Amino acid sequence: MHESMSDSLSVTAGHRRPPAVNAHKKREALTAYVFLAPWFLGLFVITVGPILASLYLSFTDYSLLEEGSWVGADNYVKMFTQDDRFLTSLKVTTIYVVVSVPLQLAFALLLALALDRGLRGLSFYRSIYYLPSLLGGSVAIAILWRKLFGVDGLFNAVLAVFGIEGPGWVSDPDTALGTLILLHVWTFGAPMVIFLAGLRQIPQSYYEAASVDGASRLRQFRSITLPLLTPIIFFNLVLEVIKSFQSFTQSFIVSGGNGGPVDSTLFYTLYLYLKGFKSYEMGYAAAMAWVLLLIIAGLTGVNFLASKYWVFYGDTK
Amino acid sequence: MATRSNAVPFLFRPMRGGRLLKHLMLAGFGLLMLYPLLWMISSSLKPEELIFREPGLLPSTLTLENYSAGWNALKHSFGYYLWNSAVITGLSVLANLVACSLAAYAFARLNFPLKKLWFAIMLGSIMLPHHVTVVPQYILFSNLDWINTIWPLVVPKFLATDAFFIFLMVQFIRTLPRELDEAAAIDGAGYWRVFLQVILPLCTPALATTGIFTFIWTWNDFFSQNLYLTNSDNLTVAVALRQFLDSSGESSWGPMFAMSIVSLGPIFGFFLAGQKYLIRGVATTGLK
């Protein structure tokens, strides 16, 4: 009690720098490290240690079953020169990200604009549109998707009403990836909520001034809403690219665990999982993980560099 | 009033009498979005042979048969898997609340050497793809003989590895007036008492957001649970559901849908109860 009393006094009298200040600072730092102890332990044992270990493993042919030996850059070389499935998984994932993220964000922005400002029932609509974002990553929804787009699934039943006989969308290599893209677009609710928050930040007076000046609504959107929203669009873009590049569950469940048909839904992380934990080529999987890290860091970096040309940071914040 | 409606962004902007049309479009789109879910619920209540004959939502015959069949379809009753998921999820929620709030208090309120550096590292770890660490982690846990236990799923959370929530709470604590801490300190409270009796109670919204998201993410998580729980006595809901696809082939959709609905139930419940915190959490930090 007495101790903490004198501590607090030294806080209030800090600028006079009595000798107690140093002792107090020390104590504060010590307390901070106690509060941070679990996090430090986790950082080194669960995060930093494994990152370095995985870098080391990526230069070996380690497998859980037998000790590996140093193989230099073999894993990396093999990936890009001999492993067709790796290149396929890279291609599949890239298509998935490039198609689904812009579509998802476009839907999110469109609906956010439709829901913004004073609409009756806004929170009701917002909840409905947001719900799929919460459920979208679950096994149950992936199962549902597999069944929706099966040969005799709901989608084909609806098509049949119009006299169209649809294929088995998840079992056809041409359309299987499309169903996964659709599933990703379906979860546009989370970025939509972020857009809604961003739209609220735009001062109402800007629109008032613009309409006094006779600016059309389209003009207001182009000259006010869109530029002021670019930081949020950028934020959503970075977030969704990182997230969707690591999608796993949906492709695992919808393809039945192998990325089929004919590797058409073989996501990068699924292939990594198959390599590391099915065939126990853990050195190879670690190398894939590092390539993934570099890809994601690279994409994020490119996003940040490109943002200079289209993201507008006004003085509204 | 006139200027206010002028300020609505142009899309779907109501023309005269267009407000109703807009609501019809929004509601129609919402229904389209939820139709797959509603169809799954309705299908789970239909006799097996009717599921694909009727794409409509209202079942002509109602039955709970799928639920009882699904509940008992696997090695253990489905309640067993629900309990396994509940244990892991409950511990994860507790762990994140404790570990992340401790770290957040230190980052938000205390001064210590290299604070900026550690904070930057913490932020960086949020962006780190999980897959980069998963192989060595698996080796580590398998050396500890932790495969097929709940520890690989729970222990990292007690070590505040979900740094996202640290960030969330730091942001929140920073908005609390420092005078509160100082007043408590003058009254003789040390750091722990300030943390426990001043900061934590005021953090309820951030704690609620953390708890709800941890719940939903852990409940939905398939990758880690599928990786670490392979023994058929240890499965969680997410991993058990997948067994329906393996064991029953493509024939028994009814029971599989029924158990899928059961598995989504808790998430839906949290969604209804915690909407305010969910929406706020997404809007401020970009959580999923």
Question: Does residue A231 sit within a domain?
Answer: yes
pLDDT at position A11, please? 46
Return the exposure string of B71-86: e unless at least 16 CB atoms fall within 10 Å of the residue's CB, then b: bebbeeebeebbebbe
Contact B129 A239 (CB under 8 A): no
CATH number at residue A92: 1.10.3720.10
Question: Does residue A206 sit within a domain?
Answer: yes
Contact B264 A135 (CB under 8 A): yes
Split at pLDDT 50, 70, 90, the class of B247 is low
Q: Which residue of chain B has the CA closest to A189?
A: B288
Q: Which residues of B touch A64 (CB under 8 A)?
A: 138-139, 142
pLDDT at position A201, please? 85
> Which of B8, B25, B89, B132 is the mutation pick for testing A, counting most A CBs within 10 A?
B132
Q: Which residue of chain B has the CA closest to A235?
A: B286
Per the structure, how many domains does chain B have?
A: 1
Question: Does residue B22 sit within a domain?
Answer: no
Amino acid at A288: M
A266 shares a domain with A189: yes
Q: Which residues of A touch B271 (CB under 8 A)?
A: 127, 131, 134
Question: Does residue B148 sit within a domain?
Answer: yes
A124 shares a domain with A41: no
Please give the Cα distance from B127 to A302 (Å, whole number).
15
> Which of A4, A27, A30, A36 is the mutation pick for testing B, counting most B CBs within 10 A?
A36
> Which of B12, B33, B131, B221 is the mutation pick for testing A, counting most A CBs within 10 A?
B131
A138 shares a domain with A52: no
Q: Which residue of chain B has the CA closest to A188?
A: B288
A210 shares a domain with A131: yes
In this predicted structure, the answer to whether residue A294 has a pLDDT above a threshold of 50 is: yes
A119 shares a domain with A42: no
- Would you tell me which residues 88-127 of chain B have a C-beta closer than 8 angstroms to some C-beta of chain A? 99, 102-103, 105-107, 110-113, 115, 118, 121-122, 125, 127
Please give the Cα distance from A199 to A195 (Å, whole number).
6
- Per-residue pLDDT tens for B163-204? 999 999 999 999 899 999 999 999 989 999 999 999 999 999
A178 shares a domain with A109: yes
Instruction: List residues bridging with A60 in a β-sheet.
Output: A70
- Hunting for tokens 């794409």 — which residue is that? B55
Contact B9 A225 (CB under 8 A): yes
- The candidate with the shortest Cα–Cα distance to A233, out of A273, A282, A198, is A198
The reply to whether B275 touches chain A by the CB within 8 Å rule is yes
A177 shares a domain with A112: yes
Instruction: List residues bridging with A70 in a β-sheet.
Output: A60
Question: Does residue B194 sit within a domain?
Answer: yes
Question: Does residue A67 sit within a domain?
Answer: no
Q: Are A143 and B244 in contact (CB under 8 A)?
A: yes
Question: Does residue A220 sit within a domain?
Answer: yes
Question: Does residue B32 sit within a domain?
Answer: no
pLDDT at position A16, please? 53
Per the structure, how many domains does chain A have?
A: 2
Question: Does residue A316 sit within a domain?
Answer: no
CATH number at residue B183: 1.10.3720.10
A109 shares a domain with A39: no
A292 shares a domain with A245: yes
Look up the domain containing B249 and give its range: 78-285
Q: What is the 3 state secondary structure string of chain B?
A: CHHHHHCCCCCCCCCCCHHHHHHHHHHHHHHHHHHHHHHHHHHHCCCHHHCCCCCCCCCCCCCCHHHHHHHCCCCCCHHHHHHHHHHHHHHHHHHHHHHHHHHHHHHHHCCCCCHHHHHHHHHHHHHCCCHHHHHHHHHHHHHCCCCCCCHHHHHHHHCCCCHHHHHHHHHHHHCCCHHHHHHHHHCCCCHHHHHHHHHHHHCHHHHHHHHHHHHHHHHHCCHHHHHHCCCCCCCCHHHHHHHHHHHCCCCCHHHHHHHHHHHHHHHHHHHHHHHHHHHHHHHHHCCC
- Per-residue pLDDT tens for A208-262? 899 898 888 889 888 999 999 998 999 899 989 999 999 999 999 998 888 888 9
Q: What is the ipTM of this complex?
A: 0.87
- Would you tell me which residues 29-68 of chain B have a C-beta closer than 8 angstroms to some C-beta of chain A? 29-30, 33-34, 36-37, 39-40, 52, 55
A209 shares a domain with A144: yes
Question: Does residue B105 sit within a domain?
Answer: yes
Please give the Cα distance from B279 to A225 (Å, whole number).
22
A87 shares a domain with A196: yes
DSSP per position, A135-156: HTTSHHHHHHHHHHTSTTSHHH
Question: Does residue A183 sit within a domain?
Answer: yes
Please give the Cα distance from A268 to B12 (Å, whole number).
39
The mean pLDDT of B62-80, rounded to a whole number, is 91
Question: Does residue A205 sit within a domain?
Answer: yes
Question: Does residue A62 sit within a domain?
Answer: no
Q: Give the 3-state secondary structure of residue A60.
A: strand
Question: Does residue B276 sit within a domain?
Answer: yes
Task: Indicate the residue among A31, A57, A83 that finishes a domain.
Answer: A57
Look up the domain containing A53 and give its range: 2-57
pLDDT at position A49, please? 96
